[in-house]
Structure 1
Amino acid sequence: MKAPFSAIHLIVLISVLSVLSHSYLVWRFLSPTDDKLKVFMTGANDGLEQMLPMQLYLYEKFREGTLFYDTDFGLGGDFYTDLAYYYSTNIIHHINMILVRVAEFFIGLDVASIDFWAYNAFFISILKTFLIIYFTYRFLKSIGSAPIPALVGGFIFAASPTYFRFTIFWSFFSDVFIWLPLTLWAIEILIRKGRRGLFIFAVAATMINNFYFAYYQFIIALVYLGVRLFFKKSGDASRIDTLKRAIPSGLLGAGISCVAFFHAVRGFFNNDDREYEVTVPLVSELGWQDNIFYENYLIIILFLALQALFTMKLYRHYFFRLFAVLTIVFMLFTLSPYVDTFFNGFQQPQKRWHYMLVFFQAALIALYLSKFRTIPLKQYLTSLIPVYIIIALSAWIKGDIVIWVWIIPLIQFLGYLLYFRWGNRPLVQSAHISAIITYVMMVAASHTESQIYHDGITDRNHLFYINSNHYASDLQEYNIDWIQQRKQPEQKIDYKVKEQDNTPLYMDFNGTSLYSSIIDGEIIDFYYNDLKVNIRYESISRYSTFQSRSNLFSLFNVDYMMRGKHHYGIPLKFSPIKEDGTYTVYENTLPLPFVRQASRIYDPDELEGPLEREHAMLKGIVTDARPPNASEPSPENIMGEIEIAPQNASYTNGILEIPSDDGGFMFDFSNIEAAEESDVYIEMSIELMEPIKRFTIDVDGYPNERLFATSKYRTYADDLLYRVKLKDKIPISFPEGRYAVDIEGVYIEDYDLLEQQSRKEPPSYTVTEKANSYIIELDDPEPGLITVPMIFREGMTATGDASGKLDTFRANYLMTGFETEGDSVVTISYTPPYYWTTLLVSIVSLILSVFWVPAKDFRKKGK
């Protein structure tokens, strides 16, 4: 089955296979005439809510030359560090951005909409598939596979259900399919030929591209290298010589990655650190969908791998034995959530390591096909038995026969024909390989149809949806543009489309919401602990708006808001300024200036509750960077002055029993005298004891969606604060269940203090935003402490035209504070901490690598 290829033939073959692997997805997109049926290669959940908005956002930053920080990244922040988990340091995405920029520049390609990036998903996936097949081919050739089986092995890996699941839902996940074969190929070259250059490159590229999967890669590379050193093969270099080359090369590769990897890891550790508090079982509770041989939601072990595992004669071959053992071990790993936890950094169990098993079976099948004609006929026929037993049992348990089952007998029959000395006949060989490739495509298509392109996905990931009011309609964008023309650059707009927390990223405005797995932990602390801003949807990965609390809107310069017809919770101090029958635009009637001088300094440790902290921020500055000189009285807790009675429920010793939905509490404020335009702040500790389920706490029409107790994304923030407009009776209702409830406080906020601060004569200033800095020009500068509602990050600097570098510090929990001596112009900029140091390490490591890698490494071609 050996058929050496020229470079051109190899490129053509891999290109054809790359396109073929996407044939089902391309057909699902191109064949329908209705836009509602043109399915994009992007998941409707994280794909549309995270992947595409982030790709577009980072491209816009790339094009304008903004490197690290922008106020339009959620509330503001370091997107270079926080999005390193996704795309900000991602090599594939940067290559893609360069190609897109070239196309935009030379042919005028319109890349400013989500539509383009949805189309682009097909292109970049095919490009990635090319690289996956190529590197897998080179690795398999290096361990003795024949060329055609090596190509088939590459295709099996690249066209696997796991690849498409990763790519469609979280496109950066599938980049690891490129780096795994490249890394193992580099290790083989290092062991057998002593060449170091490719290993350095593989380590550096893996660590730069994604720090999270670099951890996975480190584990499997260490295991593979350890096995290869412990069980040496003839022709390998000595263990000592290999380690002498591997360790320095690995360190140099890590050094080259430092400017990306270090900051990505720092972002991870800056993230919220809530622990997963659910007991992980040793063995999974298995159902029909956990069957890795049939209709598993993530991975399908091909029947060829089963035949290979039951072909005893081939175990005499070193690499066949190696990959057979790895395949068996990792198949057993699928049974234990402990393994999922281990690969996920000992956090909540995640099945993201399965790509390794896919690769092992692909390598096993390639080696099997390479030795195919050496298998005794009896062993070949015997190996078919477990295949049919497993498939028959799987179909019986599932109650359905998947379409790809019917091609298995054909492939086996063609394989049988090879035993009648037809192996040298090109027609039989071509038919056998073509049938295998068709089978792989059918498995991928069937899996995509049933496990990925199902209802709930296909009704949203299409062109009609992303141009509708569910995502980004013309009317929504028109209204946003109308506000943009009215507001000052530093003012924010509070708006998101339903659950699309990344609306500001793809509609290009300065908003208040973000959906990302990595969020600065200070922001999470602000929302959940310091100010207890109760977000409608509980999640450790999202934040949005300010719970309709006027003080916070004003403090953070959120002076415009847009809401649809069925809105709730408009802040008291916002008034409508535009209505079109579908959307209403509101303006803050009590805004605060972007630049605020402060003489009162409050110690954050001395402020006890959210409302007390709001008042302190309005009156002065809350910081531990300066000695305090003021204190804030606690607001009056009126809980003893109102009547709180259970409704359709019983409440005893802190336990609330709800026999049927809509039971809860009724808060009676009819005896309370307060300003007509006032809010009520209700602090409660709430935990659902049983049953385990999602539930909604309805607070006078405000639905607070809470996750079930075992959810991977639960915040564990059960001390909640609800803001409600004051009226005589305020109901709080729960679904059926048993709850531990502690009502901690009830407070009235009339916003008199906000009005006083808003009516003060503001300082005269202008704010100019540039690519990597913000320039504040003050007409009548005075020395003193200043706060600006720009999210503070370590690395923030302020420079005055008269004073030079100013002392910057965290103020008001999230904001940036600095002290001036009467500077007229202050320039605020940001560079991640240790950035220049890490850049120097990367450059030095790159230079040392050039000297460490012998010249012959560049002359010889790796095989």
Structure 2
Amino acid sequence: MNTMKSRLYGLRHIMVIALLAIISHVYVLWRFLAPDDSKRQVFMTGANDGLEQMLPMQLYLYEKFKEGIWFYDTDFGLGGDFYTDLAYYYSTNIIYYINILFIRAGELLTGFDTSTVDFWAYNAFFISILKAFLIIYFTYRFLGTLGVGPLYGILGGFIFAASPTYFRFTVFWSFFSDVFIWLPLTLWALELLIRKKKPGLFIFATAATLINNFYFGYYQLIIAIVYLGIRLLFRKQGDLPRIGTIKLAVPSAIIGAGISTVAFFHAVRGFLNNDGREYDVDVPMFAELDWQDNIFYENYLIIILFIAIQALFTIKLYKRYFYKVFAVLTIVFMLFTLSPYIDMLFNGFQQPQKRWHYMLVFFHAVLIAQYFAHFREISLRQYLFSLIPVYIILAFSIYWKEDVVVWVYLVPVIHLVGFLLVYLKGRQPLLQGTNAVLLVLLTVMVSASHTNTQIYHDGITDRNHLFYISSNHYASDLQKHNVELVQDMKTPEQKLDYKVRNQDNTPMYMGFNGTSIYSSIIDGDIIDFYYNDLKVNIRYETISRYSTFQSRSNLFSLFNVDYMMREDDTYGIPLEFSPIIDDGTYTIYENEAPLPFMRYATDIYDPDTLTHPLEREHAMISGIVTDALEPTASAEPMENVLDEVSVEAQNATYSDGVLEVPEDGGGLSFNFDPLLDQYQNADVYIEMHVEMIEPNKRFTINVDGYPNERLFATSKYRTYADDLLYRVELEEEVPITFSSGKYAVELQSVHVEDYEVLEQESARPDPRYTVSEQGNAYQITLENPRAGIASVPIVYRDGMKVTGDDSGDLEAFRANYLMTGFTPGADDRVITISYSPPYYTLTLIISILSLLISFVYLDLFGIRRRLKRLFK
């Protein structure tokens, strides 16, 4: 009977937690379903990274997994290992996997369409409510181990789950807020280990955290070590001996890490393979504060509830062990918000990022829960004393912000109920219930006010809106129709160069083989290719994106980009492309100088001997560039015709390498008149070094109508690639204009490209072949096989494997900077190209063995016996 009553009691708690998980989302749900049309259909995903990264990546991975493609695809940007590179996001994310299991089941049962961004926008509400449930539940269970009763344990979890920080993380970077689940789970697991000698949950928490996201696994490692260190240094009665705790914690952590290896190892590889540019900016010890940095009042990221201030000033409760622990942690982490150095520490000693604030939110939520759990111990005098700093901070905040936030009016009401509870020693169930309801209401109001002003503000709600998704800013019916037209025309291996405005992940959500991507983790070899080897100067300077090829025909042909779609007013159509379809809004172009997908080469070039991007392009077209084979050819140096070009300053002054532009639009004018008689149909490649001296701001270099947006000197996302190459069509006058400012400008070279090398190679007879995708592999079937050195524009990654049906392993190697090279035999009719991440089999074995070891290890603590008793 007692067991049944206990289960019913627990079920009631679960139902309350589920209800609170929904209530925590009342504002975002109201904005989606509001009766006022001007406020409706605002979905729970940010307009920037949310729409540009989160939703497309979720859709893309789901479609790949559904097709049985697990690691690599040529439609991942130029091509790449999405399992490794998207581990920062969703490819190893446990919460995402749970989500897509629900989605797949629903798709099979009801047949709803998962192939649109709209669906994933709706799905964001479902998965966020599920996460809120888990956050509240794990926090409630952790607080239970601290001696906090169910009422305030659940409310502590609610304060954490419904915090402004949670919604900011979830709306803009949904995978960020997963860490809200793992923090209370990890600390709960540590308490079970320290106090009850139960390591099972700690093994699970360690494995789950490291599998889910390696980046936040680093955050969790820091706080787990800090918490364990506190618990070992300042032991509580009933704890295991220090040595005993360490003997349990260390092997448990190692086993948990071992279980995670198949995900964690490859995620770290992706991070280490990312572009490694250092953040070369002096970081101050303390931040320059303004009203937005006030963590108690309308901060853009975090708001500490004023009840935590009362708790911190209630000194009597510091006699309680866990109260003191979380009071000190709250104070210390509040002070941490003042220093960008702490932001760097938690970001792996890179550029400052305020992603650790969720820990402070958790500490203050745990402190508040304990404060109310021990409310009856507070004297009336102490309670009134604790209100003084609250009203001082509130008055100062209102004065500083010059605005009264709506939740402020609830403060005296809560204080009045608190006063009555203290006066009556907390023995009034009605007052306790009223206090709990007011806490929920306060938390929801603080979160709603913050979401309304700091997240759902103008400029965001114009875009994270259902009408925006179906507009020509994102994915209109006309755009999708034109993409389908190209899909019908092209062969599987050919690429279409198209993105909707600034949506670099357009190929992900429209489902075609494109050339662009937007991701925080990008293979460093691709970044080197763009910024160093070929100096492809994309329109927006960033290390997180790449797209198109700066209208350079050689590169389009080399990578089988044989179709292009542009709006009529778009700048820069490659010289070798011609229009084939024009609907009045969009024009589709076709490459008139295509190259075959599989290309044989006789000339081998050493990459170290090629000095200019055009030399490298010509070498790739006429032969193959690689350091894996002995070179057999050398490139002819390109002629630098800078001396034949006259350059004059216009609305600017240029002297001794310093360009001063007093107003936007001034700059340099290049006169190519002497070259016009020599070249009739050509491009000019202008190379220059440009750095802004002053002021420190974003600036634009506009090259004959091509606006190259450059980041300010201290930006976290600067490429530090200041040797710039611009391609323009050869005309008599070519202006290069700048934003106002002072620049260091060095003109380095001018080269003319008439594409003779490309046209000659394109005119050669193609090897006859067909290309097909077979699950996780690509097959090239040759009609006229022959021996030789070959390359394909499939981006090479360590782990690439090429086999011939006759020769077996063809020993793949890196060719042409990014491509895959191999040497087929004379009788190889079917070439198969496949990929799996390096050491994947080994890491999978380690994970399986670690899982088996965990069962043996846990059996030492009687887990099997307890399970048998449970299921008898």
TMscore range, shorter length: over 0.9
Tell whether 2:685 aligns with 1:688. no
The answer for the alignment partner of 2:258 in structure 1 is: 255
Tell whether 2:468 aligns with 1:462. no
Q: Distance in 2 between matches of 1:678 and 1:5?
A: 80
1:305-351 CA distances to partner (integer Å, 9 max, x unpaired)?
A: 00000001000000000000000000000000000000000000000
Q: CA deviation at 1:34?
A: 3.5
Q: CA deviation at 1:423?
A: 3.2
CA 1:163–1:236: 2 relative to 1, 3 Å: same
Matching of residues 735-750 of structure 1 within 5 Å: 735-750=739-754
Tell whether 2:852 aligns with 1:850. no
The structure 2 residue matched to 1:314, chosen from 317, 327, 335, is 317
SS in structure 2 of the partner of residue 172 of structure 1: helix
The structure 2 residue matched to 1:543, chosen from 528, 542, 546, is 546
CA 1:738–1:858: 2 relative to 1, 3 Å: farther
Q: CA deviation at 1:422?
A: 7.0
1:775-833 CA distances to partner (integer Å, 9 max, x unpaired)?
A: 00011111011100000000000110000111100000000000111211010000000
Residue range with higher mean Cα deviation, 318-327 or 728-737: 728-737
Matching of residues 181-200 of structure 1 within 5 Å: 181-200=184-203
Q: CA deviation at 1:551?
A: 0.3
Contact 2:375 2:426 survives alignment (8 Å):
no
Contact 1:560 1:586 survives alignment (8 Å):
yes
Q: Which amino acid aligns with 1:809?
A: F
The answer for the alignment partner of 1:827 in structure 2 is: 832
Matching of residues 366-385 of structure 1 within 5 Å: 366-385=369-388
The answer for the alignment partner of 1:303 in structure 2 is: 306
SS in structure 2 of the partner of residue 106 of structure 1: helix
The answer for the alignment partner of 2:759 in structure 1 is: 755
The answer for the alignment partner of 2:781 in structure 1 is: 777
CA 1:36–1:698: 2 relative to 1, 3 Å: farther
Tell whether 2:735 aligns with 1:727. no
Q: Distance in 1 between matches of 2:85 and 2:39?
A: 34
Q: CA deviation at 1:857?
A: 3.6
Contact 1:621 1:812 survives alignment (8 Å):
yes
Q: Which amino acid aligns with 2:716?
A: K
1:633-672 CA distances to partner (integer Å, 9 max, x unpaired)?
A: 1111000011111112111111111122211111101111
Matching of residues 559-578 of structure 1 within 5 Å: 559-578=562-581
Q: Which amino acid aligns with 1:223?
A: V
Q: CA deviation at 1:6?
A: 1.6
Q: Distance in 1 between matches of 2:7 and 2:62?
A: 41
Size of the aligned set, in residue pairs, is 860
Structure 1-normalised TM-score? 0.99
Unmatched segments (≥5 aa) in structure 2: 1-5, 868-872
Q: Distance in 1 between matches of 2:111 and 2:7?
A: 42
Q: Distance in 1 between matches of 2:293 and 2:774?
A: 52
Tell whether 2:520 aligns with 1:514. no
Contact 1:35 1:464 survives alignment (8 Å):
no
1:148-178 CA distances to partner (integer Å, 9 max, x unpaired)?
A: 1100100000000000000000000000000
CA 1:564–1:549: 2 relative to 1, 3 Å: same
Q: Distance in 2 between matches of 1:55 and 1:677?
A: 45
Contact 1:36 1:465 survives alignment (8 Å):
no
Contact 1:36 1:464 survives alignment (8 Å):
no
Q: CA deviation at 1:675?
A: 2.9
Q: Which amino acid aligns with 1:97?
A: I
Tell whether 2:136 aligns with 1:130. no
The answer for the alignment partner of 2:3 in structure 1 is: none
SS in structure 1 of the partner of residue 797 of structure 2: coil
Q: CA deviation at 1:246?
A: 0.5
SS in structure 2 of the partner of residue 296 of structure 1: coil
Contact 1:36 1:463 survives alignment (8 Å):
no
Contact 2:376 2:425 survives alignment (8 Å):
no
Q: CA deviation at 1:33?
A: 5.7
Q: Distance in 1 between matches of 2:485 and 2:271?
A: 37
Q: Distance in 2 between matches of 1:859 and 1:605?
A: 66
SS in structure 2 of the partner of residue 761 of structure 1: coil
The answer for the alignment partner of 2:345 in structure 1 is: 342
Q: Distance in 2 between matches of 1:719 and 1:422?
A: 72
Tell whether 2:447 aligns with 1:444. yes
Q: CA deviation at 1:429?
A: 1.2
Q: CA deviation at 1:37?
A: 3.7
Residue range with higher mean Cα deviation, 656-665 or 291-300: 656-665
CA 1:69–1:35: 2 relative to 1, 3 Å: farther
The answer for the alignment partner of 2:708 in structure 1 is: 704
SS in structure 2 of the partner of residue 853 of structure 1: helix
Q: Distance in 1 between matches of 2:865 and 2:310?
A: 41
Tell whether 2:92 aligns with 1:86. no
The structure 2 residue matched to 1:171, chosen from 167, 170, 174, is 174
Q: Distance in 2 between matches of 1:68 and 1:556?
A: 21
Q: Which amino acid aligns with 2:469?
A: I
SS in structure 2 of the partner of residue 763 of structure 1: coil
Q: CA deviation at 1:674?
A: 3.1
1:592-622 CA distances to partner (integer Å, 9 max, x unpaired)?
A: 0001000100000000000000000010000
Q: Distance in 2 between matches of 1:663 and 1:627?
A: 49
Q: Distance in 2 between matches of 1:400 and 1:133?
A: 32
SS in structure 1 of the partner of residue 778 of structure 2: strand
Contact 1:674 1:750 survives alignment (8 Å):
no
Q: Distance in 2 between matches of 1:91 and 1:789?
A: 33
The answer for the alignment partner of 1:278 in structure 2 is: 281
The answer for the alignment partner of 1:158 in structure 2 is: 161
Q: Distance in 2 between matches of 1:99 and 1:532?
A: 45
Q: Which amino acid aligns with 2:143?
A: L
Contact 2:32 2:39 survives alignment (8 Å):
no
CA 1:315–1:720: 2 relative to 1, 3 Å: same
Q: CA deviation at 1:860?
A: 5.6
Unmatched segments (≥5 aa) in structure 1: none
Q: Distance in 1 between matches of 2:238 and 2:375?
A: 24
1:670-717 CA distances to partner (integer Å, 9 max, x unpaired)?
A: 111333220000001000010000000000000000000111011000
SS in structure 2 of the partner of residue 349 of structure 1: coil
Matching of residues 381-400 of structure 1 within 5 Å: 381-400=384-403
Q: Distance in 1 between matches of 2:15 and 2:702?
A: 60
Structure 2-normalised TM-score? 0.98
1:4-47 CA distances to partner (integer Å, 9 max, x unpaired)?
A: 97221011100000000000000000014648741100000000
SS in structure 1 of the partner of residue 204 of structure 2: helix
Q: Distance in 2 between matches of 1:471 and 1:404?
A: 36
The answer for the alignment partner of 1:622 in structure 2 is: 625
Q: CA deviation at 1:436?
A: 0.8
